[in-house]
């Protein structure tokens, strides 16, 4: 989530752009601001989701994967496609 201050600032910027600029330019700028917001949101979501995953790696070919602690503990590390051996927790 964006903090309230950033959300407020971006909202003010969008309103200012819409009021002061040529409509086409304002729309282009608003769309760019939306792209930036989506990128920030996606980055935050990715960070939140990857934080729960543990990295495992094949010591033979260095294949990297991520797996949850729950599955590591209940079923074990995934097997690498190169040799069908359990991958190592990094
Ligand atoms: Zn491998």
Residue in the block written with tokens 């003010």: 12
Whole-number Å distance, alpha carbon 60 to ligand 1 midpoint, is: 5
Determine the pLDDT at residue 6: 84
Determine the pLDDT at residue 78: 96
Determine the pLDDT at residue 2: 78
The predicted-structure confidence for 45-78, as pLDDT tens digits, reads as follows 888 776 688 999 999 999 999 999 999 999 999 9
The predicted-structure confidence for 15-53, as pLDDT tens digits, reads as follows 777 777 677 777 787 788 889 999 999 888 888 776 688
Q: Using the predicted structure, report yes or no on whether residue 10 has a pLDDT greater than 90.
A: no
Distances (CA, A) of 49 to 43, 46, 53, 65, 75: 10, 5, 7, 14, 21
Whole-number Å distance, alpha carbon 83 to ligand 1 midpoint, is: 6
pTM of the predicted protein model = 0.47
Domain ranges of the chain: 4-46, 53-89
């Amino acid at each position: 989530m964006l903090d309230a201050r950033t959300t407020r600032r971006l909202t003010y910027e969008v309103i200012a752009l819409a009021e002061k600029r040529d409509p086409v330019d304002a729309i282009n700028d608003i769309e760019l601001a939306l792209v930036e917001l989506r990128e920030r949101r996606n980055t935050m979501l990715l960070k939140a989701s990857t934080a729960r995953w543990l990295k495992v790696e094949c010591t033979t070919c260095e294949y990297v994967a991520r797996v949850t602690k729950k599955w590591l503990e209940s079923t074990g590390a995934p097997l690498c496609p190169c040799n069908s051996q359990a991958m190592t927790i990094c």
